[in-house]
Structure 1
Amino acid sequence: MTTTTQVKHEVKDLSLASLGKQRIEWAGREMPVLRQIQDRFVAEKPLAGIRLVACCHVTTETAHLAIALKNAGADALLIASNPLSTQDDVAASLVADYGIPVFAIKGEDNATYHRHVQTALDHRPNLIIDDGSDVVATLIQERQDQIADLIGTTEETTTGIVRLQAMLRDGVLTFPAMNVNDADTKHFFDNRYGTGQSTLDGIIRATNILLAGKTVVVAGYGWCGKGTALRARGMGANVIVTEIDPIKALEAVMDGFRVVPMAIAAPQGDLFITVTGNKHVIRGEHFDRMKDGAIVCNSGHFDIEIDLVALKERAAEVKTVRPFTEEYKLASGKSVVVLGEGRLVNLAAAEGHPSAVMDMSFANQALACEYLVKNKGKLSPGLHSIPQEIDAEIARLKLQAMGIAIDALTPEQIEYINSWTSGT
């Protein structure tokens, strides 16, 4: 690591910065909503004097969020939210070209990751943008004295929201948290269209397999699972869905997918994709039933959806056969292939979601930070939804950037929908 800048950092190689800057600028072409927000932030400085920590996947899209926050006046610091999701050239460019402290290295071990979480908290943040709630959880468990400095936090992952809900139930969430994940302009698009496309992108880059004709098992039919199943079917795969929620299972059936328990799907699948946010969705007994050469991967936030410990216990040999592709030779003689070490395959083996969809997600993040600062001291502790007017404004800006116009209600229509006296 070189030290040609005064900005504090821990990145792989600052000489990668020029390539990273090119890629950041390319991503910006597809992010017109965040660009418009940033233009306003430059003039208004709504985050002036705010110490901000962002724990996110360090990608070209995240770079634009970090730049927007800095232009809003924030003293911002960025760390990775996943050991395999950092794009090293982007991290270098943010330090060298934009003066943003970054602590993120692709492939960093767990000890380094946790050290970076501590580095983030050493910044004594007033705002935390979290991706999985590791920074918030560490703050509550280890840095109680810093909670007084905190205005609030934002969270944009399903996994992180589940953790925040658990904190709320346990009475330890004593500050406001913005539920960015449930914003309509986030989960309807990012989770569904972003995860669907980027997951298959990661799988194809890692393996170069043909999806047409394959049996693909999608574990979980939330918004991420819906998008993944939809895109896999679009590539010609025969898709099986596994679920624990009867409503979601019924929805998958009505959408035309076969729904069975994982134990039934295990011997049928060629490719398994977990998107549940839960632990050990694919377990030892499932590996035992899989066909030779079955491929398993995860597109949920943490690497616990696939029970890799159970798989290693069954393996006589483990070898890397392609980048981000490991073959576990089992004692039975068959093999199971794991992509991206069981971590987010779309970020481990590819580049994550396309810029156009992250434009809306990060617009929500930026505006959620502004909302927390504007409402400092007014919001109760706990989870808060993105205000509907912010959600609608992001959608309006996105449509405008796409050159799409929509109708407006006439005065007569407004009167009708606000009246209870009119009928048949």
Structure 2
Amino acid sequence: MPSPSDGLLRDLAPAVLGVLVRRGVDFATAEDAVQEALLRAWRSWPDDPPRDPKGWLVTVAWRAYVDAGRSEAARTRRERLVGSRPGPGPTETADDTLELYFLCAHPDLSPASAVSLTLRAVGGLTTAQVARAHLVPEATMAQRISRAKRVVRDAGVRPGDLATVLRVLYLVFNEGYTGEVDLAEEGIRLARRLVAASGSAEATGLLALMLLHHARRAARIRPDGSLVALSDQDRSRWDTTAVAEGVRLLQSALARDRLGPYQAQAAIAALHADAPSAAETDWTQVVEWYDELLRFDDSPVVRLNRAVALGEADGAAVGLAALAEVDPTVPRHTAVAAYLHERNGETALGARLYAEAARLAGSVAERDHLTLQAARLHRSG
């Protein structure tokens, strides 16, 4: 038999962790025991596959927990827990996914730690996989995860709220593709599970937003690694299946009349996905959805993007007037100014601003893209 499916172990890990937590094991200790069980599964399942994979993992994780004690108090507590160990049935089959999401979004954790702990505990990734996904040494990631588990243990059960959980999942998604683990796809997978566990309209909106953004992935980067602006993307390369699912999910969320920021962002993404070309985008509706989004998130980033939409809907001069009210230190502010000044016929100023934006770029691909825009305007001028 081949090695156990990576996907199967990832799916089972949070369920097994939930069983141990429900039996009274503290989160950090339970998570260590589950990881030990997963490692043993990799070693033994190819030669001796279990008939009940989840039951096997629960048993092995429980034994790892029982064997890991250090003090007499811990041994006494475990003996009490063993004596009252629940039998198979509803306790073993209950879905603890939602509780685990909330524990990993603990309010005392930094965003980076919450993301790492979520990938490890809910996503079922190994520490090595999480480390490779974030391009850091395994030892560094092990320390980060250990610190996060200590925070959860020492602070007690103070799980984060749903908004925090959604923010953590969106951070996972935005990490994107970095190698062995595709965090964009991992974020979508985890969002699907959160929707199933919570039934939240906003969680559904987040999943729709992820799918609509992910649908454009193949058209976003050229073979040489250079960026392709949304207006220049080959829309025939967009994943129409993902677009259709994203739109369907968005419609189901909006029908519940509980609008939130992720639904508003998904509505904007859906308008882009629905347009046959950039020129045919319904920019007036895009602006209206940005106005809705401002009710929930009146941030400089949202106002920056709204200025772009206004420039498309009502003319570059209107967009520039809106941009003037946005904090100029916001990332991409200079690039947006360059774009709007170019559309306003100010080619020389646009070229200068593109060059300045290139110097401020946060990645090589973005820097190269902005440099090319500056060179294009210099040639045309």
TM-score scaled by length of structure 1: 0.24
- Which structure is higher in RCO with an 8 Å CA cutoff and minimum separation 6? 1
* Greater strand fraction, Structure 1 or Structure 2: 1
State which structure, 1 or 2, has the greater radius of gyration over its C-alpha atoms: 2
* Greater helix fraction, Structure 1 or Structure 2: 2
